Amino acid sequence: MTKTTCIRNADWIVAWDDETGGHKYLQGADVAFTDDAIVQVGGRYEGAVDEEIGGAGVCVMPGLINIHNHTSSMPTFKGLREELANPRFYMSALYDGWNLFVVAPEDRVWNARFAHCELLKSGVTTFVDMCRPFPGWLDAVVDSGLRACFAPLFESAVWHTENGYRLDYIWYDDNGQKVFDEALAVIDAAVNHNSGRLSGMIAPMAVDTCTADLLRDSMAVAVERDLPFQLHAGEAVMEFLEITRRTGKTQIQWIAELGLLGPRTIIGHGIFLDHHSWLHWSTRDDIGLLASTGTSVAHCPTPFSRYGITLESLGAYLDAGINIGIGTDCSPHNMIEEMRTAAIMARVTDENMFALTTTQVFEAATVGGARALGRDDIGRLAPGAKADIVLIDLTEPSMQPVYDPIRCLIYTAADRAVRDVYVDGVKVVENGEVLTLDFAEIAARVTELQRQVLEKVPERHHAGHSAHQVAPLTLPIG
């Protein structure tokens, strides 16, 4: 039995315009959807309606698409890694900070659920989940109601440091085939799930932890199965130095030779490319390679900005013709705040507030992400698109006065103004509260997990330091 819902006479609608290939505002109009598909955007819907929602004080917009997340690890890092960086690794906390606060595989599901709540509350309806497989992963995503692209991580080696200044790699005897096979099993389960909301992505962990053979093999599988492909590259100076040491080429130039660039490929972060001012490299080819091949970049500015690192620059990448999607990467998984940071950092980097427009940021968080995933049925409000819809509360004081709702949302209100969220036409957030998950219970579980993890830091740290030594409190305890 079908159900038609109509949001009647909405004050504002962010509608898709096929003629211009972009979003546009409508005012005083309807949005109607039947089951999981939008049937009308704009005008007066005259068809039969099973549920009518008043549009007064509402801005209707497409659900946001978050193309780079690590949900199963990041929530227990909260309060710890925001100011944890290693100057001897060029400010990255990736190599000696990542494993300090990781929970056991059987507990990662609680971190994931915490992140799901944050994603939903910030208007995300589709996300890419980049995790090492853990028990209960599939069920947790299904229970959340989110639309998800599963990107189980695999690699040929893992990072290791014994002293905090020398980076080593521990290589697997089988070149990573076992973990690759495990990743493919997860993708098979997602693609074949009866919810219809799950898909898969081939995601070798990082350009420096995978051999050329594993990268070629994984791309061959992505092509064979017609799946998107995502690889961390340009994430850290240490990675750039390692790849140039091994190959004499930049990461992008090397993987271009391996045949990895193209419209199905997403580069995770893509910060430290050959033009970046920290590197002083001789070539200026990387941005052009990404643009000419149609490769996308997953831009996650917040965690890097905390370390004093920035993309140089988002406006330049867009001007070159690179497709950009937005990801939150770490905690918090707050997509709207990520969009704000993307806009601000781009303008600061270029010392020019006109280097990036709010329109470009919003497009990256919607149709840019959809394009990176090879989809044209999400990230837009148009007949035939998925009913992934967000209702913004214009009566929220932080949204007022409402001159431009998207600008007010991104620069001021953020998730405080997200009222209702629909995925596939099903309401998963109502009045700012997640309907599918008990956020309070999940937060209590994650709090306990963090307490347990903190006790283990001395045995994990290369010098035996405690959590308070690694990440000192902002203020002393008196």
**453 in a structural domain:** no
Domain boundary among 324, 344, 372: 372
Compute CA 230 distance to the chain's CA centroid, rounded to the nearest angstrom: 12
**73 in a structural domain:** yes
Dihedral angle sign, alpha carbons of residues 346, 352, 355, 357: positive
Q: Say whether both 366 and 430 belong to one domain.
A: no
Q: What angle do CA 227, 230, 231 make, to 5 degrees?
A: 145
**Residue 94 confidence (pLDDT):** 85
Q: Say whether both 424 and 289 belong to one domain.
A: no
Judge contact between 41 and 382, C-beta under 8 A.
yes
Domain boundary among 372, 404, 425: 372
Q: Say whether both 272 and 137 belong to one domain.
A: yes
**Residue 477 contacts by C-beta under 8 Å, 6 or more apart in sequence?**
none
**458 in a structural domain:** no
Q: Say whether both 173 and 88 belong to one domain.
A: yes
Q: What angle do CA 34, 48, 8 make, to 5 degrees?
A: 75
Q: Say whether both 244 and 390 belong to one domain.
A: no
Q: Say whether both 68 and 54 belong to one domain.
A: no
**447 in a structural domain:** no
**Residue 126 confidence (pLDDT):** 98
As a whole number of angstroms, the distance between CA 346 and CA 278 comes to 17
As a whole number of angstroms, the distance between CA 18 and CA 8 comes to 23
Q: What angle do CA 206, 186, 133 make, to 5 degrees?
A: 55
Q: What is the pLDDT along the chain (478 residues), one digit of tens a residue?
A: 899 999 999 999 999 999 999 999 999 999 999 999 999 999 999 999 999 999 999 999 999 999 999 999 989 989 988 888 889 999 988 888 778 888 999 999 999 999 999 999 999 999 999 999 999 999 999 999 999 999 999 999 999 888 989 999 999 999 999 999 999 999 999 999 999 999 999 999 999 999 999 999 999 999 999 999 999 999 999 999 999 999 999 999 999 999 999 999 999 999 999 999 999 999 999 999 999 999 999 999 999 999 999 999 999 999 999 999 999 999 999 999 999 999 999 999 999 999 999 999 999 999 999 999 999 999 999 999 999 999 999 999 999 999 999 999 999 999 999 999 999 999 999 999 999 999 999 999 999 999 999 999 999 888 899 999 999 999 999 9
**Structural domains of the chain, count:** 2
Contacts 24+ apart (CB under 8 A), 162-171: 162/462, 163/462, 164/86, 164/88, 164/89, 164/96, 164/462, 164/463, 165/88, 165/89, 167/89, 167/95, 167/238, 167/242, 169/208, 169/209
**148 in a structural domain:** yes
Judge contact between 57 and 395, C-beta under 8 A.
yes
**84 in a structural domain:** yes
**Residue 99 confidence (pLDDT):** 80
Q: Say whether both 82 and 181 belong to one domain.
A: yes
CATH of the domain at 317: 3.20.20.140
Q: Say whether both 87 and 140 belong to one domain.
A: yes
Q: What angle do CA 366, 371, 376 make, to 5 degrees?
A: 80
Domain boundary among 434, 458, 473: 434
Q: What are phi and psi of 216, to 5 degrees?
A: -65, -45
**Residue 410 confidence (pLDDT):** 98
Q: Say whether both 37 and 94 belong to one domain.
A: no
Structural domain including 294 reads 64-372
As a whole number of angstroms, the distance between CA 374 and CA 369 comes to 9
Q: Say whether both 267 and 141 belong to one domain.
A: yes
As a whole number of angstroms, the distance between CA 431 and CA 420 comes to 6
Provide the whole-model pTM. Answer: 0.97
Q: Say whether both 289 and 176 belong to one domain.
A: yes
**Residue 100 confidence (pLDDT):** 87
Q: Say whether both 234 and 302 belong to one domain.
A: yes
**276 in a structural domain:** yes
Number of residues written out for the chain:
478
Q: What is the largest CA-CA distance in the chain?
A: 70
CATH of the domain at 400: 2.30.40.10
**449 in a structural domain:** no
**Residue 360 confidence (pLDDT):** 98
